[in-house]
Every structure is written in C-alpha cells, then in structure tokens.
Amino acid sequence: MKKYFITLIAITLVTFAWVSCTDFPVDEDGLLITTRGQCYVGNFELLGADFQTVRTKAAVIDTTAQTINVEVFFGTDLKNVYPQFSLVTDAKLDPKIVGKVDFSDLANPKVYTVISGNRLVKKPYTVYVTVQAKP
C-alpha cells in the first residue's frame, strides 16, 4: 500500500515538474510568439487631446501599399494626438505608442511597422495625414 502511495506521489511530482518546465516562446516584450504569419492593420483611429476623434471620415488603409490615409478636421492640434492601430491577432507595433504623438510634420509622414505573431514578417505602414481645407 505504502509503495503504491509513494509511486503515485512521485508520478504527480514528475508531471507537475514537466508541465511547469514546458517553454512557451515569448519575445523581448514578454508577448507570446505564435505561429501566425498575418501582418496588417485592420483599423486606424486618431484622437485629439480630449480623446475625441479628429478624423473627418474613416481612415483609408491600403494593406498592399502599406499606407494609411486619414483626413483630420481643420484646426486639429496635430502636435498632440493619440494614434490607435487595430492589428491582426498576435501582431504588434513598432515603435510602441505610449502617449501623445506629434503628427504635425506633414511632409515627413510617420512610419509604424507591424510585426506578425510569429515575429518573422515585418511590414512598415506610412501614415499620411491631411488637414481639412482652410475655410
């Protein structure tokens, strides 16, 4: 009886040890690296300092040309806006958005790179902002 009991405990311990040591790959940000190779932007939003949208209409995302075209209201303070990207599952963005971003240099559009879930595909998206015409 005692022998069975010890065997059972030993099996349980080994199982736990094996499970806890199984390694799931994570990247430098601690995010899970998956098998997904898709790499695109699904949606793009631009919020003003008051966290309200500054877009006049939906942003046009071209996943082939890897561009995002967005028109903002006249008078938008482009030095203080919050971009929001909706990415395909498991993908991530580089550089990370950690607060307000300055989009005021319209001649030099910002570029964000989408990195796929498997971290093997990288696609740079250029964000072109245009301002509603001056009255």
Partner 1 sequence: MQLKHYSLALLTILVVFFTACQDEEYALPTLEGGLHNDCIKRTLGPNVVGLNIEFAYAMALPKAEGKILSAQVEASIAGAPATYMEYRSFSTNGSGVDVPVTIGSPSVNSGTKTEVVFSKDTCAATLRYYYIIPEEARGKTVKFTFSAKASNGQTVSYEMGPYNVAKMDMKLDLVLSDNNNSYLSIADMAVYNAATAATKAASIDLVYLYRTYTTATFNHALVAPAASPDYKPGITLPAGVINSAKIWKVWALRDQQLARLQYGIFIDDLDFQQLDFAGAPDYAINLRAEAGIWVETADGKYRAYIYINKIDNTKKEMTISIKRYPMQ
The binder of partner 1 chosen from 32, 42, 58, 75 (CB under 8 A): 75
Of residues 89 through 128, those in contact with partner 1 by CB under 8 A are 100
Of residues 30 through 69, those in contact with partner 1 by CB under 8 A are 48-52, 56
Cβ 125 to partner 1, closest distance in Å?
25
Structural contact between residues 72 and 130, judged by C-beta atoms closer than 8 angstroms: yes
Q: 47 is written with which tokens?
A: 């919020």
Closer Cβ to partner 1, 3 or 134, answer by number: 134
Contacts with partner 1: how many residues (CB under 8 A)? 17
The binder of partner 1 chosen from 42, 73, 84, 130 (CB under 8 A): 73
Q: 57 is written with which tokens?
A: 């209409």
Of the candidates 135, 109, 119, 122, which has an alpha carbon nearest to the alpha carbon of residue 46?
Answer: 109
Structural contact between residues 122 and 114, judged by C-beta atoms closer than 8 angstroms: yes
Cβ 5 to partner 1, closest distance in Å?
15
Longest Cα–Cα distance of the chain, Å, equals 91
43 pairs with which residues across the strands? 86
Closer Cβ to partner 1, 28 or 50, answer by number: 50
Do β-strands 122-131 and 67-72 pair in parallel, antiparallel, or remain unpaired? parallel
Residue ranges binding partner 1 (CB under 8 A):
48-52, 56, 73-75, 77, 79-80, 100, 132-135
